[in-house]
Amino acid sequence: MTSLTNPVIPGFHPDPTICRVGDDYYLACSSFEYFPGVPVFHSRDLVHWTQIGNALDRPGQLRLPPGTPSSGGVYAPTLRHHDGRFWLIVTNVQGDGNLLVTTTDPAGPWSDPVLLPGVRGIDPDLAWDADGTCFCTYAGVWQVRIDPHTGRTLETPRRIWSGTPGAQAPEAPHLYRIGDYWYLLIAEGGTERGHAVSIARGPTPSGPFEPCPANPILTHRGTHHPVQNTGHGDLVQAPDGSWHLVLLGVRPQGGTPGWHVLGRETFLTRVRWAEGWPVVDEVPLDLPAPGWPLQPPAPVATRDDFDLAELGPQWISLRCRPPESSTTTHRPGWLSLSARGPSLDGLDATFTGRRQQHVRCRARARVDAADGHGGLAVRLDDRHHYAIGHAAGQVSVSARIGPLRTVVAVRSVPPGPVVLRIEVGDADGPADARTGPDSVALGVEEPDGTFTALATLDGRYLSTEVAGGFTGRVLGMYALTGTVHFDWFDYEPAA
């Protein structure tokens, strides 16, 4: 039997939402303060996923104000297919609030957004009944009928279920018609270790809803399972009639309390039905083939030589990507980043990267900083990042950990471009209850390919347990002054 490893979409890909059209599955995730927003993926087997675009990839669709904080921005989309179109509803918490975009091709382009000022909560969901009435259900759990073409609400919102008594934060609702019932799936318990998935059912889209007697139908809280914080699920039925759940989870590493650094990732598990209720399997570490032939995995582009006019969909930038600050046409075959702010600490930092997707990995780039100061960074947020920069014949390693900023190491280098490298590996030192999740080595690649680390730093300080928030690490390139040019960027998992 073919086996693959969960998560099916590793790295900072939280709040998954899924729909199937024929033999094709489409999935979208939250993106928070990064532009473009809402990555969109395609699969034929629920296991191998390829990013085909981003739903919000134009400034007119995604307005992230300059003051958008880390872990602000775009929260929790719902992706559905109805009446020949794909519909995606999502919340921009610092910008336009709830908005809705549509397309006939999920690879894009998606429409300009329709705003929904009458929907005043996060985590919006869309569902249509048999007569075409559209119901928007959102965190709380509240519901209102809407006109999805205009964004107009058609009634006063009403609360339809509060989740399990005593469980905090009923959110991430998804509403489905399955058989004789309407099922309302939610997350509750908070998005930390207490996270869980619960469900209720009723005769109409608005209830009344009876909770499943086995709630929560999925949680790993209070267990030693290596996947924790399990929640925010979405159901999908395969062509063979089997059911599955995509959900978010984290992989804590190291000692107590466990540190997760990749953010909340997308996992997959099986669902069975018993007495009219879904029974969800514990999230497996190895995925058996889902009952039909697995598709061959798409090749993963680990290196980008920046030969195309546009960056690929995997590249994300902070809050915006003005053409004057990020271009591959200024110096063909190079990515040129021009500084907008003097520090990675600021909300105006020029930074473009890709999500760290492996527990152990390396990132490398050939950098020409003759016209500025820039380099490589591993970023969790604006107050937690490590960087190795090149300027004026020197490379230097710097660290920002909460209120502390420091230059850790400096080395002179010959004139001309230099290859900078970040390696994420095992934690330094003997293991005990206090051992961090990993170590982050930052340094220079010598002409013969050997790596000289200028500093090796504790990875726990770039973890959610230290920094808080909802995102994961992003490895990428930055400019602090002038214009910095990058010949190529290479990312690969480490053995």
Task: Please pick, among 15, 123, 234, 381, the residue that the annotation labels catalytic.
Answer: 15
One-letter amino acid identity for 27? Answer: L
Strands 474-493 and 158-159: unpaired
411 touches 395 (CB < 8 A): yes
Q: How many CA atoms lie within 13 A of 132 on its CB side?
A: 4
One-letter amino acid identity for 363? Answer: A
Q: Cα(436)–Cα(241) distance, rounded to whole angstroms?
A: 43
One-letter amino acid identity for 89? Answer: I
For residue 58, the Cα-to-chain-centroid distance in whole angstroms is 18
Strand order in the sheet with 181-188: 171-178, 181-188, 196-202, 210-211
Region class of 71: left (phi > 0), else alpha (psi between -120 and 50), else beta = left
Task: Please pick, among 171, 234, 382, 423, the residue that the annotation labels catalytic.
Answer: 171
| 3-class DSSP state of 91 | strand
Helix (H) or strand (E) run with residue 465 in it: helix 464-467
CA distances, 106 to each of 42, 136, 151, 292 (Å): 9, 21, 21, 24
**Burial degree of 99 (CB within 10 A; 0-12, 13-18, 19+):** buried
487 is catalytic: no
Buried b (16+ CB within 10 A) or exposed e, 192-217: ebbbbbbbbbbeebbbebebbeebbb
282 is catalytic: no
> Which residues are the active-site residues?
15, 171
